[in-house]
Structure 1
Amino acid sequence: MKNNKTLQYTLMGVGLLVLPLILQSFGNAWVRIADMALLYILLAIGLNIVVGYAGLLDLGYVAFFAVGAYMYGLLSSPHLVNTFASMAGMFPQGMHISIWLILPMAVALAGVLGMLLGAPTLKLRGDYLAIVTLGFGEIIRIFLNNLDHPVNITNGPKGLSQIDPISIFGVSLGKKLTIGDFELASVTLYYYLFLSLVLVAIVISHRLALSRIGR
């Protein structure tokens, strides 16, 4: 039985590694769909900790994802520099902050928002908690989509453009990677990044559930 499970996991791992290479032959759009699927799997793993393990029906979970995404978009794109003259004076070359610096800041900001949301809702359960968290998620969505006037901070529904690609150990995921005669498209590189994050999230979630706090 143990050997069968090992074989299944091995085949599954090989399949996940080969999948983007197969999809890439049909066009980058298919790999981009797989990228989005992995992102939502990552979100689902985090939501499972709150709803599945803790039993708290949190319907505003995706708001924290939006906060982190907008922070990275604002700090690694020329939008703030082009909008505010004071920012242009401080960053004449534009804001191109590394993902490694933005990541802890985004985690801290999401944590602060989580505490602000959790403080008044700690004693709520069931439908009441769902209503409050649903309202929080909608407030964040509407707020970010309308924060383009009177001061244009998020560019509203038009979104942010020219966001710097993620670089890991000097390798930019925004450019194709050539290995010999074989090329890995940018969307394929992002696929492997998201797959790695999903595996790390699964391990953390599993260990959390088996920990003293989890039990």
Structure 2
Amino acid sequence: MPDTRSARPTVLAVWLVIAGVVGWWAAFSLTMERFHLLADPDAIASCDFSLLVQCTANLQSAQGSVFGFPNPILGLTGWVAPVVVGVAVLAGARFARWFWWCFWAGTAFAFGFVVWLIGQSVFVLATLCPWCMVTWAVTIPTFYAVTVHVLRVSGIRWARRLGPWVPLATFLSYAVVAVIAQLRLDWLSQL
């Protein structure tokens, strides 16, 4: 049986690059929308499709600037890390356990922040922001995949069995968000 702690996590690396690029693009798109709205407060964002599906309410809310600056700036900076880590792993880099734990802490923060933002979006703002949902869609599986990898590199033997469960956990997370949004916002009837 191979030592899973020393095996290069190629699938994880590819996912990190893909998720990082998709997440960065969503953050960039939201940042551009925010600039557009700052230049013209009466403008309508290109991602505003209805009262339910829109970016403007989220971007202009207090929740859209939790740390005193627009949240998409976190994405512009934060999504670079998975791309860099993924490319480095594909290039043959091997990181120490402490590095993976620090990287996991970043993904855990992102996951927690996304869960909070989902709650704010659904229960407080009553909107579904398209670019925000793209961010949610890549943050959730990234957190699960990095968590499994960190458990593996930490020498937890049963952790190698968790990898195949990441897609199911991701799907179930998406389903929970969709059901909560449906029960709260009735988004299916507004499509």
TM-score (norm 1): 0.25
Query: Which is helix-richer, 1 or 2?
Result: 2
Name which structure has the greater RCO, CA cutoff 8 Å, separation 6+: 2
TM-score, normalised to structure 2, is 0.28
